[in-house]
Amino acid sequence: MSAVPTGERQPAVPEDRVTINDVARLAGVSRQTVTRAMNDMSGISAETKARVLRAAARLEYRPNRAARAMVRGPGTTLGLVIRSLWNPFFAEIAESVIDAVHARQWNLHLSYVGSNGRDALSVVRDMAPEVDAIVGYLPPDISRELPSFTGPLIQLDISGTTGQDAGFRFDLTHDLGLVVQRFADSGRRGVAMIDGSVHGGPSVRAPIFTELAREAGVLDDRVGVTLTDESPEGASAAVREMLDRSPDVDGLFVFNDVMALGVMHELTRHGLTIPDDVAVIAMDGIRLGAYSSPPLTTVDLDPRGLGHAAVAAVGDVLAGDAPRRGRGAQWQRRHALLVRQSG
Amino acid sequence: MSAVPTGERQPAVPEDRVTINDVARLAGVSRQTVTRAMNDMSGISAETKARVLRAAARLEYRPNRAARAMVRGPGTTLGLVIRSLWNPFFAEIAESVIDAVHARQWNLHLSYVGSNGRDALSVVRDMAPEVDAIVGYLPPDISRELPSFTGPLIQLDISGTTGQDAGFRFDLTHDLGLVVQRFADSGRRGVAMIDGSVHGGPSVRAPIFTELAREAGVLDDRVGVTLTDESPEGASAAVREMLDRSPDVDGLFVFNDVMALGVMHELTRHGLTIPDDVAVIAMDGIRLGAYSSPPLTTVDLDPRGLGHAAVAAVGDVLAGDAPRRGRGAQWQRRHALLVRQSG
DNA sequence: GAGGCGTGCGTGAGCGTTCACGGCGATCTG
DNA sequence: CAGATCGCCGTGAACGCTCACGCACGCCTC
């Protein structure tokens, strides 16, 4: 018995694929001449080139990318894994990663973990054999689940974990300090938080925020943190539930911008005005936040900068200029508060 | 002199790449045994497998994707070109395309045309040699500029063009009829349009809308159509300009949802209430439209359905079940009005 | 008119991997 | 105990393309 793969395999190789030899034969030239014609190389006459291109078109010839990549060198492919694309925060990160990757002549594989019911591990497992490096929002220490993947793996947010993952660590004490300060400055005394569930559990932002808010004397201790889905729908529901429990909340810190949209929607529906009755501050800095009503006050996480930085980090690791794991591969970022009208 | 390429080339092939033979030598086995270990195949003992995997890890061996693809068959790669990702409409399309492509075990190349200053033609030119099919928002008859690309090319919106491009044609007379009807039913008499500039010029939606609106007697002829950037910023500016010219507009049809966000922002800033003073209706059906204030009335273009349909169409063409160009490769779509509070 | 040069084209080799097949001991079977 | 079977492993070939050469021919130069 011959060795067989355990899992099923690709649809096998098609019979009818047309190769460079077919084109050469039809055009009455050699392989090399076809190559010259297809790749705009010198050393070929105009007539011959035209004849070859005509033959190629007639056969619907498409050069085999794998064969070409093999001899030319494989290039670099980056894998990006984010949570949903419909959330503009991740979409903006994706945009900047696309830009940065294109500038380096790399390829990109994009996937997302979200409403499609796929979990991060299975997405990354599928992606790993196809890419040279991975960037994304992934569970801590995921590289332990991927022993066969030896390329660089960079987390877009490792705040809160103490592991050895490479990635970006947000200075939450600084960032959330700004938020708390803002609530205090505008005289709020009953601030609560709507948290978004990340890998099934609460976020790291919640305990840090509540501690800072309590210290500053602005926290509504009766309400505290409400945990819900990372979506406007979830946020709306959380607000309804919260308003039932405690009608006198006067400030809300929301996990992210799209959730804040759901929050403001729900507050308005209940006849509350923002920010007079309830101030709303969120985190992300999406472009559309400037056009909500009222415009959203938020921590500007600078998604475009984050994407660029991540690609640059991958480049450094690949070039051997940065360590692959551990403290030396963790970069801290601190952000500014984008003050608009909502809080 | 030997033939040389005209343009510059990839960074050439690196010297230090580690191949399957290096692993085999270190583990003291043959190529084939390394293959068996790496691909979880049968016909290998547990000890040997472990030894091989250890050797592979030590050398940081990564199988060459090109070589593998060459013998296994190349698979299918789809290219998707959209205008911006930060606009949730396109992002939602991208999500559904990712899902559909993943379900078929295809690969995806995603690129966008937008604020990065790249035009559609150059993006597609870069992409064409790397993919087997292209889906996107592209200028009419773009395939004429790509003689070397012989794969299927499917436009996500060919409304208005009369060419031979394959793609989806929106039944704008139907869809915009719904919008006009809605304005008429709510007693509007001074409706104008904020149009988004697509490939440098006005959209196809503008003339059809104005004609229908005029016929229904709801059009504000003094204002008509204001053309601007496809962005909330552009839309805000357009509203300012329009309000100067004619203060008694009572209904606004906006090119798309994100522009409508800018429009509503600006109207609110001018002290106008929506929909009492001005009704706003847009087109797209993004998820976040339900959470603006007021929630947005819009034509539901069903971005997820569109993405799935496009991938299915590519599959049909590739399988030979659908024509590649011409009338038979054009599919019509008509949509429903999603009535919320803004109009 | 012998040598040099440039243009246009073809031939062998090799990229790294997997597939088909074959070999060789050890175990099982009648 | 001869023959069949099974587990484990290795060897040639091939995938389609590009690169480095080399060859033939026409033209120019001295």
How close B211 comes to chain A (CA, Å)? Answer: 30
> Please, are residues A100 and A297 in contact by the beta-carbon 8 Å criterion?
no
- H-state helical runs in chain B: 20-27, 31-38, 46-59, 65-72, 88-103, 120-127, 172-185, 205-215, 232-245, 257-269, 303-318
Q: Which amino acid is residue B138, in one-letter code?
A: L
A286 vs B296: CA distance, rounded Å: 19
B134 vs B146: CA distance, rounded Å: 12
pLDDT higher than threshold 70 for residue A191: yes
The nucleotide minimizing the C1' distance to residue B72's CA is: C18
pLDDT digits (tens, 9 = 90+) for A28-48: 999 999 999 999 888 898 899
Q: What is the model's pLDDT at position B246?
A: 79
Residues 36-55 of A with CB within 7 A of strand D = 38-39
Query: Is A62–B151 a contact, with Cβ atoms under 8 angstroms apart?
Result: yes
**Nearest-CB residue to B261 (from A67, A232, A288):** A288
User: When comparing pLDDT for A7 and B85, which is higher?
Assistant: B85
pLDDT higher than threshold 70 for residue B134: yes
Q: What is the model's pLDDT at position A90?
A: 97
Residue to mutate among A18, A20, A62, with most B CBs inside 10 A, is A62
Query: Is A94–B85 a contact, with Cβ atoms under 8 angstroms apart?
Result: yes
pLDDT higher than threshold 50 for residue B237: yes
Q: Which amino acid is residue B75, in one-letter code?
A: G
Partners of residue B290 in chain A, C-beta under 8 Å:
232, 265
Q: What is the model's pLDDT at position A9?
A: 41
* 3-class state of residue B217 by DSSP: coil
Mean pLDDT, chain A, as a whole number? 90
User: In B, residues 6-25, which contact A (CB 8 Å cutoff)?
Assistant: 6-7, 9-14
Q: What is the mean pLDDT of residues A286-300?
A: 96
**Nearest-CB residue to A85 (from B40, B95, B116):** B95
**CB of B268 under 7 A from strand C?**
no
Taking each helix axis from N to C terminus, what angle separates A257-269 and A88-103, rounded to the nearest 10 degrees? 160
Of all residues in chain A, the percent with pLDDT exceeding 70 is 94
Query: Is A43–B2 a contact, with Cβ atoms under 8 angstroms apart?
Result: yes
pLDDT digits (tens, 9 = 90+) for A223-270: 889 999 999 999 999 999 998 887 789 999 999 999 999 999 999 999
pLDDT higher than threshold 70 for residue A53: yes
A292 vs A290: CA distance, rounded Å: 6
pLDDT digits (tens, 9 = 90+) for B143-171: 888 877 888 999 999 988 888 899 999 99
Which residue segments constitute the domains of chain A, with CATH numbers given?
20-72 (1.10.260.40), 77-170+304-333 (3.40.50.2300), 172-300 (3.40.50.2300)
**CB of A102 under 7 A from strand D?**
no
Least confident of A110-119, B72-81, B169-178, B263-272: A110-119
